[in-house]
Structure 1
Amino acid sequence: MATTQHYVWAGGHFTLLVSALRYILAWALFKTPSSLWYKASFVGAFVSYTIVCQKSLGSPQPTAAWAKRAIADENVQYLILALFWLTSKPVALALFPYTIFSLFHALTFTRTTLMPQILPSGPPATAGGAPTPHPLSKKLQVWVRTNYDSAMKVVAYAEIFILARVIVGALLFRNSFLTPIFYAHFIRMRFFQSAFTREAIVRVTAKIDQYVDRPETPPAVKQGWRTVQGLIGRWTGTTLNAPAPAGQAPPAAAGNGTR
């Protein structure tokens, strides 16, 4: 049975989803979206991720062991990132990963918690067994399972694109120079924790290599790219030479967000 905390967690995701879609739609139509929608999105994210982190880590403890465990937790990373975006100048693209996560969490909450309360269950599959879910619930479950990996790949590429956006934004004074530094550290942590991110980074790197290695590419560009690759390699402590297999659970718990 769903608890009050579970409903608050879901409320945060629904708030994020509705507010982000409202902001992104206005932005995509070249209108000036209200920053209130942007802030409401990350307030929703902050609420949901705070609940998840509290459930998984417990109350904060003034110990090195607890801090180390918290820093390594991907939900804590997304919580801190949400707080950073909330207090920074709006970057519309920053909403995309959170919106995708919230879409899947909201759909799962709808299927597991809301639908059983408003839709009649089917007959038991076996005599004396539990009632079967409504056909609509089954279809929703299949859709979530079918599209999950593709959505997580989109998130990984979106996060790389966001990094490029904030680097360019810093050079054009559209966001602070702290933003790409902070976000690059976040991407570094995702690289080691997410197979989807590793695969995306490797594929993007390979695609850039294809363009740089063309005969007509100026030598200065080739040298510059090799220098960047070397810096990235030393920063991450690894060599980007092969995509890793993807397939893992999303942040904030795919089930009910209160694991």
Structure 2
Amino acid sequence: MPPAVPVQTPPLTVRLSKLVLSIQFLWFVGHVTTALYYILYSRSSPTGGKNYSKAYYGTLLSYGIILYKSHGRPEFSRTYLQRILMDENTQYLFLSLIWVTSKPIFVTLIPFTTFSFFHTLNYTRTQLLPALFPPTSPSGHITTRLSPTLQSLVQNYQVPALSRVAFAEVWIIFPILIFSILTGNASIFTPVLYAQFLRFRYFVSPVTQAAFASLAVQCDRLAANERTPALAKKVYEKIREWVVNFGNAGQQQAAPAEPPAQ
């Protein structure tokens, strides 16, 4: 029986060229940019918007690429428009455009940075490490040792982190937007646009539904408290009624736009 032919590992330049020239690498660069400039912005002056904007440039790049990979080149057709609007990545892309064109609000970066962190870990494990340290090369032990660690981080922390992101989107970001109107840091239209985003998220995300349910329970409990003024109770009831009607209207509009199962 002839001896096994050893597997030839391509040179590093060939491996890196193949990696860097792929569109997925640009997607990775977008996520790294978001995470990096989030860190820089968090360590700089809150009024310095350059790092804030650069973080969102990363999100625009990464979400733009994933939409291109999922739906192809833009088409001027009703079917394409319905399909892409029902993609949650489109909603996050639109939201990024809102934030990058508005005054910096730090907490809005938290969801995007969380997504970028885990995407970066996954890409590093599945693409970057094998390209730099192929398992068949003398340095392959680096990939063999680091890959399980990165995979464990994702498996153990991604789901809890995404759940906290959903709660932050409902419990923290929206109230801060309302307050930002009073301080002049947000347009009066910004909470309206963000409410549209939350409505979409509610229909497609169980964790967002759980966040709204938890918020409703807490608010109902406060409204039922004997110490709560009658005027505050009436205002809350009106707001609650408006939120329910707002959500129901969105559900009726979204139903016909659902794409057929494939």
Match of 1:15 in 2: 33
Residue of structure 2 aligned with 1:227, choices 202, 217, 238: 238
Q: 1:119–1:134: 8 Å Cα contact kept in structure 2?
A: no
Q: Stretches of 4+ moved more than 6 A in 1?
A: none
Matched, 1:190 2:196: no
Q: Return the structure number with greater relative CO, CA threshold 8 A, min gap 6.
A: 1
Match of 2:120 in 1: 106
CA distance 1:54–1:203, shift in 2 (3 Å): same
Q: 1:49–1:79: 8 Å Cα contact kept in structure 2?
A: yes
Match of 2:22 in 1: 4
Matched, 1:80 2:111: no
Residue of structure 2 aligned with 1:165, choices 176, 181, 197: 176
Count of residues paired in the alignment: 227
In 2, the alpha carbon distance for the partners of 1:120 and 1:52 equals 26
Q: 1:10–1:106: 8 Å Cα contact kept in structure 2?
A: yes
In 1, the alpha carbon distance for the partners of 2:235 and 2:225 equals 14
1:120 is displaced (CA, Å) by 6.0
Match of 2:158 in 1: 148
1:135 is displaced (CA, Å) by 2.7
The 3-state SS of whatever aligns with 2:43 is helix
1:123-173 CA deviation, whole Å, 9 max, x = no partner?
A: xxxxxxxx9961321121011011111111111111111111111211332
Match of 2:53 in 1: 39
In structure 1, list runs of 5 or more residues that go unmatched. Answer: 123-130, 239-259
Match of 1:208 in 2: 219
Q: 2:27–2:62: 8 Å Cα contact kept in structure 1?
A: yes
In 2, the alpha carbon distance for the partners of 1:226 and 1:144 equals 41
CA RMSD in angstroms, aligned pairs only:
2.1
Q: Which has the larger radius of gyration?
A: 2
The 3-state SS of whatever aligns with 2:166 is helix
Match of 1:243 in 2: none
Match of 2:146 in 1: 136
In 2, the alpha carbon distance for the partners of 1:230 and 1:32 equals 36
Identity %, equivalent residues: 31
Match of 1:117 in 2: 131
Q: Which has the higher helix share?
A: 2
Match of 1:70 in 2: 84
